[in-house]
Protein backbone atom coordinates (compact mmCIF):
# COMPACT_ATOMS: atom_id res chain seq x y z
CA UNK A 1 0.00 0.00 0.00
CA UNK A 2 1.42 3.38 -0.98
CA UNK A 3 1.87 6.12 1.61
CA UNK A 4 -1.08 8.49 1.71
CA UNK A 5 -0.49 12.22 1.21
CA UNK A 6 1.23 13.75 4.20
CA UNK A 7 1.60 17.36 5.15
CA UNK A 8 -0.48 20.41 4.34
CA UNK A 9 -1.68 21.41 0.90
CA UNK A 10 -2.06 24.87 -0.60
CA UNK A 11 -5.06 25.90 -2.69
CA UNK A 12 -8.50 27.45 -2.35
CA UNK A 13 -11.17 25.78 -4.49
CA UNK A 14 -14.66 26.80 -5.60
CA UNK A 15 -16.45 23.50 -5.03
CA UNK A 16 -19.94 24.41 -3.79
CA UNK A 17 -22.20 27.50 -4.07
CA UNK A 18 -23.01 27.44 -0.36
CA UNK A 19 -20.20 29.35 1.45
CA UNK A 20 -20.41 27.18 4.56
CA UNK A 21 -20.25 23.91 2.62
CA UNK A 22 -17.53 25.23 0.35
CA UNK A 23 -15.48 26.15 3.40
CA UNK A 24 -15.84 22.67 4.89
CA UNK A 25 -14.77 21.07 1.61
CA UNK A 26 -11.69 23.29 1.53
CA UNK A 27 -11.05 22.57 5.21
CA UNK A 28 -10.48 18.89 4.51
CA UNK A 29 -8.84 19.46 1.14
CA UNK A 30 -6.13 21.34 3.04
CA UNK A 31 -5.20 17.98 4.59
CA UNK A 32 -6.19 15.48 1.91
CA UNK A 33 -4.88 17.39 -1.09
CA UNK A 34 -5.35 16.26 -4.71
CA UNK A 35 -6.17 12.64 -3.83
CA UNK A 36 -9.02 13.68 -1.56
CA UNK A 37 -10.32 16.15 -4.15
CA UNK A 38 -10.20 13.47 -6.85
CA UNK A 39 -12.55 11.35 -4.77
CA UNK A 40 -14.86 14.25 -3.88
CA UNK A 41 -15.29 16.08 -7.20
CA UNK A 42 -17.45 13.36 -8.83
CA UNK A 43 -19.98 13.48 -5.96
CA UNK A 44 -20.32 17.28 -5.71
CA UNK A 45 -23.64 17.31 -7.63
CA UNK A 46 -25.14 15.06 -4.94
CA UNK A 47 -24.47 17.56 -2.14
CA UNK A 48 -27.88 19.26 -2.39
CA UNK A 49 -28.65 19.30 1.34
CA UNK A 50 -27.11 18.30 4.65
CA UNK A 51 -28.56 14.80 4.69
CA UNK A 52 -27.25 14.10 1.21
CA UNK A 53 -23.90 15.44 2.43
CA UNK A 54 -23.85 13.09 5.41
CA UNK A 55 -24.83 10.02 3.40
CA UNK A 56 -22.41 10.79 0.57
CA UNK A 57 -19.37 11.25 2.78
CA UNK A 58 -20.12 8.18 4.88
CA UNK A 59 -20.21 6.17 1.64
CA UNK A 60 -16.94 7.74 0.48
CA UNK A 61 -15.43 6.79 3.83
CA UNK A 62 -16.51 3.17 3.37
CA UNK A 63 -14.92 3.04 -0.07
CA UNK A 64 -11.65 4.66 0.96
CA UNK A 65 -11.30 2.42 4.01
CA UNK A 66 -12.01 -0.70 1.94
CA UNK A 67 -9.32 0.42 -0.50
CA UNK A 68 -6.71 0.78 2.25
CA UNK A 69 -6.69 4.58 2.50
CA UNK A 70 -7.36 5.27 6.18
CA UNK A 71 -6.41 8.96 6.09
CA UNK A 72 -8.76 9.83 3.24
CA UNK A 73 -11.42 7.66 4.88
CA UNK A 74 -10.96 9.58 8.12
CA UNK A 75 -11.47 12.90 6.34
CA UNK A 76 -14.63 11.63 4.61
CA UNK A 77 -16.08 10.33 7.86
CA UNK A 78 -15.26 13.56 9.69
CA UNK A 79 -16.86 15.52 6.85
CA UNK A 80 -20.06 13.52 7.37
CA UNK A 81 -19.93 13.66 11.17
CA UNK A 82 -19.36 17.42 11.24
CA UNK A 83 -22.92 18.16 10.11
CA UNK A 84 -24.58 15.50 12.25
CA UNK A 85 -26.67 17.33 14.80
CA UNK A 86 -26.50 16.28 18.47
CA UNK A 87 -28.92 13.40 18.93
CA UNK A 88 -28.22 11.85 15.52
CA UNK A 89 -27.52 8.17 16.36
CA UNK A 90 -24.82 8.09 13.70
CA UNK A 91 -22.76 10.86 15.30
CA UNK A 92 -21.00 9.01 18.14
CA UNK A 93 -20.07 5.96 16.00
CA UNK A 94 -18.81 8.27 13.24
CA UNK A 95 -16.66 10.18 15.71
CA UNK A 96 -15.15 6.96 17.09
CA UNK A 97 -14.50 5.73 13.57
CA UNK A 98 -12.80 9.01 12.63
CA UNK A 99 -10.51 8.81 15.65
CA UNK A 100 -9.61 5.19 14.92
CA UNK A 101 -8.85 5.93 11.26
CA UNK A 102 -6.72 8.94 12.12
CA UNK A 103 -4.74 6.90 14.60
CA UNK A 104 -4.22 4.22 11.98
CA UNK A 105 -3.14 6.75 9.35
CA UNK A 106 -0.95 8.83 11.69
CA UNK A 107 0.30 6.43 14.38
CA UNK A 108 1.86 8.30 17.28
CA UNK A 109 3.82 6.67 20.13
CA UNK A 110 1.65 6.07 23.17
CA UNK A 111 4.00 8.29 25.17
CA UNK A 112 2.75 11.29 23.19
CA UNK A 113 -0.78 10.82 24.55
CA UNK A 114 -1.91 11.38 28.10
CA UNK A 115 -4.66 12.91 30.21
CA UNK A 116 -4.44 15.81 32.61
CA UNK A 117 -6.77 16.19 35.57
CA UNK A 118 -8.69 19.43 36.00
CA UNK A 119 -10.80 19.14 39.15
CA UNK A 120 -11.99 15.67 38.18
CA UNK A 121 -12.28 16.43 34.46
CA UNK A 122 -9.89 14.52 32.20
CA UNK A 123 -8.26 16.64 29.50
CA UNK A 124 -6.77 14.62 26.60
CA UNK A 125 -3.33 15.75 25.44
CA UNK A 126 -1.06 15.09 22.48
CA UNK A 127 2.55 16.11 23.17
CA UNK A 128 5.12 16.16 20.37
CA UNK A 129 8.70 17.37 19.93
CA UNK A 130 9.53 17.39 23.62
CA UNK A 131 12.49 19.66 24.29
CA UNK A 132 12.18 21.42 20.92
CA UNK A 133 14.65 24.33 20.70
CA UNK A 134 12.10 26.90 19.55
CA UNK A 135 9.91 26.84 22.65
CA UNK A 136 6.58 25.39 23.74
CA UNK A 137 3.34 25.89 21.84
CA UNK A 138 0.10 25.04 23.67
CA UNK A 139 -2.54 24.45 21.00
CA UNK A 140 -6.32 24.04 21.19
CA UNK A 141 -9.35 24.42 18.97
CA UNK A 142 -12.70 25.99 19.59
CA UNK A 143 -16.31 25.28 18.74
CA UNK A 144 -16.24 22.11 16.68
CA UNK A 145 -12.78 20.55 16.41
CA UNK A 146 -10.97 17.47 17.71
CA UNK A 147 -7.24 17.51 18.44
CA UNK A 148 -6.87 14.43 16.22
CA UNK A 149 -7.72 16.47 13.15
CA UNK A 150 -4.85 18.86 13.97
CA UNK A 151 -2.22 16.09 13.89
CA UNK A 152 -0.83 17.12 10.46
CA UNK A 153 -0.45 20.70 11.77
CA UNK A 154 1.05 19.52 15.07
CA UNK A 155 3.60 17.33 13.30
CA UNK A 156 4.61 20.22 11.04
CA UNK A 157 5.12 22.49 14.06
CA UNK A 158 7.21 19.82 15.77
CA UNK A 159 9.24 19.37 12.58
CA UNK A 160 10.06 23.07 12.76
CA UNK A 161 11.60 22.68 16.20
CA UNK A 162 8.70 23.45 18.54
CA UNK A 163 7.54 21.40 21.47
CA UNK A 164 3.80 21.10 20.87
CA UNK A 165 1.16 20.36 23.50
CA UNK A 166 -2.37 20.12 22.10
CA UNK A 167 -5.34 19.55 24.36
CA UNK A 168 -9.12 19.37 24.43
CA UNK A 169 -10.85 21.36 27.14
CA UNK A 170 -14.42 21.75 28.38
CA UNK A 171 -16.92 21.85 25.53
CA UNK A 172 -14.48 20.16 23.14
CA UNK A 173 -13.81 16.69 21.79
CA UNK A 174 -13.75 13.86 24.29
CA UNK A 175 -14.33 16.21 27.24
CA UNK A 176 -17.71 17.13 25.77
CA UNK A 177 -18.68 13.94 23.95
CA UNK A 178 -17.52 11.39 26.54
CA UNK A 179 -17.63 13.33 29.82
CA UNK A 180 -20.45 15.77 29.08
CA UNK A 181 -18.52 18.81 30.33
CA UNK A 182 -19.69 22.04 28.63
CA UNK A 183 -17.62 25.00 27.48
CA UNK A 184 -16.31 27.45 30.08
CA UNK A 185 -15.40 31.11 29.67
CA UNK A 186 -12.74 30.61 32.39
CA UNK A 187 -10.28 29.17 29.87
CA UNK A 188 -7.31 29.93 32.11
CA UNK A 189 -8.39 26.93 34.19
CA UNK A 190 -7.79 24.20 31.58
CA UNK A 191 -4.67 26.01 30.38
CA UNK A 192 -3.42 26.24 33.97
CA UNK A 193 -4.18 22.57 34.59
CA UNK A 194 -2.09 21.59 31.56
CA UNK A 195 0.80 23.84 32.56
CA UNK A 196 0.70 22.51 36.14
CA UNK A 197 0.62 18.86 35.11
CA UNK A 198 3.46 19.17 32.60
CA UNK A 199 5.51 21.67 34.67
CA UNK A 200 5.53 24.16 31.81
CA UNK A 201 6.39 27.85 31.95
CA UNK A 202 7.06 30.51 29.33
CA UNK A 203 4.67 29.12 26.73
CA UNK A 204 2.94 30.41 23.61
CA UNK A 205 -0.80 29.79 23.30
CA UNK A 206 -2.12 29.02 19.82
CA UNK A 207 -5.92 29.12 19.81
CA UNK A 208 -7.57 27.98 16.57
CA UNK A 209 -10.94 29.42 15.46
CA UNK A 210 -12.98 30.11 18.61
CA UNK A 211 -9.76 29.14 20.37
CA UNK A 212 -8.40 32.53 19.29
CA UNK A 213 -10.79 34.21 21.69
CA UNK A 214 -10.25 31.57 24.36
CA UNK A 215 -6.48 32.17 24.15
CA UNK A 216 -6.97 35.87 24.85
CA UNK A 217 -9.18 35.05 27.83
CA UNK A 218 -6.64 32.58 29.23
CA UNK A 219 -3.67 34.92 28.76
CA UNK A 220 -5.42 37.67 30.74
CA UNK A 221 -5.27 35.49 33.88
CA UNK A 222 -2.34 33.11 33.35
CA UNK A 223 1.13 34.74 33.64
CA UNK A 224 2.96 31.61 32.50
CA UNK A 225 1.59 32.41 29.05
CA UNK A 226 4.10 34.82 27.51
CA UNK A 227 2.85 34.97 23.91
CA UNK A 228 -0.57 34.52 22.28
CA UNK A 229 -1.53 33.58 18.74
CA UNK A 230 -5.21 34.21 17.94
CA UNK A 231 -5.47 31.92 14.93
CA UNK A 232 -8.22 33.38 13.95
CA UNK A 233 -9.28 36.58 15.65
CA UNK A 234 -12.52 35.85 17.45
CA UNK A 235 -13.46 38.60 19.87
CA UNK A 236 -17.25 38.09 19.85
CA UNK A 237 -18.52 34.56 19.36
CA UNK A 238 -22.16 35.56 19.86
CA UNK A 239 -21.86 37.85 16.84
CA UNK A 240 -20.56 34.91 14.78
CA UNK A 241 -23.58 32.80 15.70
CA UNK A 242 -26.03 35.61 14.97
CA UNK A 243 -24.22 36.18 11.70
CA UNK A 244 -25.63 32.89 10.41
CA UNK A 245 -29.17 34.32 10.70
CA UNK A 246 -30.36 35.95 7.44
CA UNK A 247 -29.37 39.62 7.33
CA UNK A 248 -32.98 40.81 7.18
CA UNK A 249 -33.77 39.14 10.51
CA UNK A 250 -30.53 39.91 12.32
CA UNK A 251 -31.61 43.14 14.08
CA UNK A 252 -34.71 41.44 15.46
CA UNK A 253 -32.67 38.40 16.49
CA UNK A 254 -30.19 40.58 18.39
CA UNK A 255 -32.98 42.29 20.33
CA UNK A 256 -34.94 39.14 21.12
CA UNK A 257 -31.90 37.12 22.17
CA UNK A 258 -30.72 39.81 24.58
CA UNK A 259 -33.70 39.73 26.97
CA UNK A 260 -34.93 36.96 29.23
CA UNK A 261 -38.58 37.82 28.65
CA UNK A 262 -38.16 37.65 24.86
CA UNK A 263 -36.05 34.51 24.75
CA UNK A 264 -38.98 32.31 23.77
CA UNK A 265 -39.67 34.59 20.79
CA UNK A 266 -36.04 34.29 19.71
CA UNK A 267 -36.25 30.51 20.01
CA UNK A 268 -39.37 30.46 17.84
CA UNK A 269 -37.71 32.65 15.22
CA UNK A 270 -34.59 30.46 15.18
CA UNK A 271 -36.67 27.32 14.63
CA UNK A 272 -38.50 28.99 11.75
CA UNK A 273 -35.24 30.12 10.14
CA UNK A 274 -33.59 26.75 10.72
CA UNK A 275 -36.34 25.03 8.73
CA UNK A 276 -34.99 26.82 5.63
CA UNK A 277 -31.36 27.46 6.65
CA UNK A 278 -29.62 24.19 7.64
CA UNK A 279 -26.49 26.03 8.77
CA UNK A 280 -28.61 27.81 11.41
CA UNK A 281 -30.04 24.50 12.58
CA UNK A 282 -26.55 23.06 12.86
CA UNK A 283 -24.96 26.15 14.42
CA UNK A 284 -27.58 26.69 17.10
CA UNK A 285 -27.84 22.96 17.82
CA UNK A 286 -24.07 22.73 18.19
CA UNK A 287 -24.05 25.81 20.45
CA UNK A 288 -26.69 24.27 22.73
CA UNK A 289 -24.62 21.08 22.84
CA UNK A 290 -21.27 22.81 23.47
CA UNK A 291 -22.64 25.08 26.20
CA UNK A 292 -24.95 22.48 27.71
CA UNK A 293 -28.02 24.69 27.34
CA UNK A 294 -31.58 23.54 26.55
CA UNK A 295 -32.67 26.51 24.42
CA UNK A 296 -31.16 28.68 21.67
CA UNK A 297 -31.41 31.92 23.65
CA UNK A 298 -29.61 30.37 26.64
CA UNK A 299 -26.84 29.15 24.31
CA UNK A 300 -26.51 32.69 22.91
CA UNK A 301 -26.26 34.04 26.45
CA UNK A 302 -23.43 31.58 27.17
CA UNK A 303 -21.70 32.60 23.93
CA UNK A 304 -21.81 36.23 25.07
CA UNK A 305 -19.68 35.28 28.09
CA UNK A 306 -16.83 34.33 25.73
CA UNK A 307 -16.50 37.90 24.48
CA UNK A 308 -13.01 39.27 25.02
CA UNK A 309 -14.16 42.91 25.26
CA UNK A 310 -13.98 43.16 29.03
CA UNK A 311 -10.81 41.12 29.44
CA UNK A 312 -8.49 42.07 26.56
CA UNK A 313 -7.27 45.08 28.54
CA UNK A 314 -5.71 42.71 31.08
CA UNK A 315 -3.53 40.98 28.48
CA UNK A 316 0.11 42.02 28.89
CA UNK A 317 1.77 39.47 26.61
CA UNK A 318 2.93 39.67 23.01
CA UNK A 319 -0.07 38.99 20.76
CA UNK A 320 -0.34 37.90 17.12
CA UNK A 321 -3.76 38.31 15.49
CA UNK A 322 -4.44 36.37 12.27
CA UNK A 323 -7.38 37.27 10.03
CA UNK A 324 -8.59 36.26 6.57
CA UNK A 325 -10.08 39.05 4.48
CA UNK A 326 -12.95 36.81 3.32
CA UNK A 327 -13.67 35.08 6.63
CA UNK A 328 -17.37 34.17 6.36
CA UNK A 329 -17.68 33.60 10.12
CA UNK A 330 -15.71 36.50 11.62
CA UNK A 331 -16.15 40.08 10.41
CA UNK A 332 -13.36 42.62 9.98
CA UNK A 333 -14.88 44.64 12.82
CA UNK A 334 -13.74 41.93 15.25
CA UNK A 335 -10.12 42.45 14.23
CA UNK A 336 -10.48 46.19 14.72
CA UNK A 337 -12.24 45.60 18.06
CA UNK A 338 -9.45 43.36 19.31
CA UNK A 339 -6.72 45.72 18.16
CA UNK A 340 -8.32 48.56 20.11
CA UNK A 341 -8.91 46.50 23.24
CA UNK A 342 -5.37 45.09 23.67
CA UNK A 343 -4.14 48.40 25.04
CA UNK A 344 -1.77 46.94 27.67
CA UNK A 345 -0.26 44.13 25.63
CA UNK A 346 3.52 44.11 25.37
CA UNK A 347 3.16 44.12 21.60
CA UNK A 348 0.36 43.50 19.11
CA UNK A 349 0.90 42.31 15.56
CA UNK A 350 -1.94 41.83 13.08
CA UNK A 351 -1.65 39.88 9.84
CA UNK A 352 -4.46 40.04 7.26
CA UNK A 353 -4.34 37.28 4.63
CA UNK A 354 -5.55 37.88 1.08
CA UNK A 355 -7.19 36.02 -1.78
CA UNK A 356 -3.95 36.28 -3.74
CA UNK A 357 -2.31 34.21 -0.98
CA UNK A 358 -5.22 31.71 -1.01
CA UNK A 359 -5.39 32.25 2.75
CA UNK A 360 -8.38 34.59 2.86
CA UNK A 361 -10.75 32.16 4.58
CA UNK A 362 -11.41 31.40 8.23
CA UNK A 363 -8.25 30.11 9.94
CA UNK A 364 -6.38 30.51 6.67
CA UNK A 365 -7.83 27.31 5.25
CA UNK A 366 -6.37 27.22 1.74
CA UNK A 367 -2.84 28.07 2.84
CA UNK A 368 -2.10 26.69 6.29
CA UNK A 369 1.65 26.53 5.55
CA UNK A 370 1.69 30.31 5.10
CA UNK A 371 -0.08 30.82 8.43
CA UNK A 372 2.50 28.58 10.11
CA UNK A 373 5.29 30.54 8.40
CA UNK A 374 3.87 33.78 9.81
CA UNK A 375 3.66 32.34 13.32
CA UNK A 376 7.21 30.97 13.12
CA UNK A 377 8.64 34.26 11.84
CA UNK A 378 6.79 36.25 14.52
CA UNK A 379 8.19 34.05 17.28
CA UNK A 380 11.69 34.29 15.83
CA UNK A 381 11.36 38.08 15.75
CA UNK A 382 10.38 38.10 19.43
CA UNK A 383 13.34 35.85 20.32
CA UNK A 384 15.74 38.24 18.59
CA UNK A 385 14.14 41.20 20.35
CA UNK A 386 14.41 39.57 23.77
CA UNK A 387 18.02 38.48 23.15
CA UNK A 388 19.13 41.99 22.23
Evaluate whether 226 touches 203 at the Cβ level (below 8 Å). Answer: yes
Q: Are residues 123 and 232 in the same domain?
A: yes
pLDDT at 2: 45
Mean pLDDT of 356-361: 98
Is 294 part of any domain? yes
Q: Which of 105, 124, 149 is the last residue of a domain?
A: 105
In order of 134, 270, 296, the CA distances from 292 in angstroms are 38, 18, 11
Quote the number of domains for the chain.
3
In sequence order, the β-bridge partners of residue 205 are 138, 228
pLDDT digits (tens, 9 = 90+) for 92-133: 999 999 999 999 999 999 889 999 999 999 999 999 999 999
Q: Tell me the C-alpha distance between 363 and 360, whole Å.
A: 8
Q: Which of 105, 128, 154 is the last residue of a domain?
A: 105
Q: Which of 255, 330, 336 is nearest to 300 (CA)?
A: 255
Q: Which domain holds residue 63?
A: 19-105
Helix (H, G, I), strand (E, B) or coil at 118: strand
Pick from 14-18, 52-56, 169-173, 258-262: least confident: 258-262
Evaluate whether 242 touches 304 at the Cβ level (below 8 Å). Answer: no
Q: Are residues 324 and 227 in the same domain?
A: yes
Q: Are residues 140 and 91 in the same domain?
A: no
Q: Are residues 184 and 311 in the same domain?
A: yes
pLDDT digits (tens, 9 = 90+) for 256-308: 555 555 677 778 877 777 766 777 778 888 999 999 999 988 898 899 999 99
pLDDT digits (tens, 9 = 90+) for 204-233: 999 999 999 999 999 999 999 999 999 999
This model's pTM is above 0.85: yes
pLDDT at 247: 61
DSSP at 43: G
Q: Which of 70, 85, 105 is the last residue of a domain?
A: 105
H/E segment holding residue 152 = helix 151-159
Q: Which of 372, 181, 66 is nearest to 189 (CA)?
A: 181
pLDDT at 284: 84
Q: Are residues 204 and 323 in the same domain?
A: yes
Q: Tell me the C-alpha distance between 366 and 249, whole Å.
A: 31
pLDDT at 1: 39
* pLDDT of 309 higher than 70: yes
pLDDT at 4: 59
Is 255 part of any domain? yes
In sequence order, the β-bridge partners of residue 121 are 118
Amino acid sequence: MSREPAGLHVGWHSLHPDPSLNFQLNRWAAYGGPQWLDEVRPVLPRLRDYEAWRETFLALGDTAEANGRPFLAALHVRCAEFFMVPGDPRKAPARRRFLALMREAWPLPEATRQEVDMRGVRLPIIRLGRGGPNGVLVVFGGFDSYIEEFVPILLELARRGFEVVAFEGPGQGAVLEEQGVPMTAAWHRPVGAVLDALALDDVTLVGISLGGGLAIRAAAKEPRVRRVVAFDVLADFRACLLGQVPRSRRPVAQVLSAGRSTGWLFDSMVRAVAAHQPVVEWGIGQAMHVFGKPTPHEALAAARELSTTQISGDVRQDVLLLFGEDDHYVGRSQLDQQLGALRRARSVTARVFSRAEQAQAHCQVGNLPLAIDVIELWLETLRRRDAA
